[in-house]
Amino acid sequence: MGHFVKSFIVSLNFLTIFSFEKASFSELKEVGQASWTFPLVGAFVGIILVITSLALNFVFPHNVSALITVGLWIFVTGGLHLDGWTDCWDAFGAAVTRERRLEIIKDSRLGSFGAMALFILLGLKVSCISTGLVSSSELLLACVIGRSFMVCGFRSCVCMKPGMAASFTSGIDARTYGIVWLLSLPFAIIAGIDGIIALAVAYLGLVFFRRFAENKLGFINGDVLGATCELSETLVLITVCWR
């Protein structure tokens, strides 16, 4: 039980704005070792969003409620993975050499491609939730899958060394991948056939994005992992809205 609590809090410290110094980590390898709890942290974030969304729907129209919910989504996670999303598209969108692309992805400044990608991503999230077609279980699933796929979507990948992704993945073993899948699948089943389809679509999107990133950069880095979380969440929302 103590191991579970420590691992969960380490993951919570890393993935959200909630901080517990007693379970702090000195390097990302420790986060990788605790990453088997990522789906549970995703569920924690999802529960906060579901409760907020249900409460807001009693007071505001769906579009206003959706905008506030997505704003809270960004706040609770500290916008951690949005930074990776924008950095990736600033680099991927530029018609430059691979060496120059690496320089761009390391640059913390927001460029035009990153800004457009951010606008589209957040616009899609708000639009999907505002339709009223995203159920509570499906919103919960999006949060779980986003964090789970940062782990189980990058087995045997080539990471930039030294780098955040290399440190993180060095702490993940074969058992962790299995546990993450085991903890994630029940959320898709609870969401029904739409949830299962959304899981499959998000995974296909992850595979495509990973190969695309590897082709552009030659390796995976922390920005790609973060971008994968945002992409997977959005693909789940889009899929369950597809009627």
Distance (Å, rounded) from C-alpha 109 to C-alpha 111? 6
**Model pTM?**
0.92
3-state SS, the chain, equals: CHHHHHHHHHHHHHHCCCCCHHHCCCCHHHHHHHHHHHHHHHHHHHHHHHHHHHHHHCCCCHHHHHHHHHHHHHHHHCCHHHHHHHHHHHHHCCCCCHHHHHHHHHCCCCCHHHHHHHHHHHHHHHHHHHCCCCCHHHHHHHHHHHHHHHHHCCCCCCECCCCHHHHHHHCCCHHHHHHHHHHHHHHHHHCHHHHHHHHHHHHHHHHHHHHHHHHHHCCECHHHHHHHHHHHHHHHHHHHHCC
Give me the pLDDT at residue 115, please.
Answer: 93
The per-residue pLDDT for 106 is: 78
What local confidence, expressed as pLDDT, does residue 26 receive? 57
Quote the pLDDT of residue 140. 97
pLDDT value at residue 243: 62
What pLDDT, on a 0 to 100 scale, did the predictor assign at position 2? 66
- pLDDT tens, N- to C-terminus, the chain (243 residues): 667 888 899 999 999 998 776 555 557 788 888 899 999 999 999 999 999 999 999 999 999 999 999 999 999 999 989 998 998 898 888 777 777 887 787 777 888 888 999 999 999 999 999 999 999 999 999 999 999 999 987 777 776 667 677 788 777 888 999 999 999 999 999 999 999 999 999 999 999 999 998 888 888 888 889 999 999 999 999 999 986
Provide the pLDDT for residue 96: 77
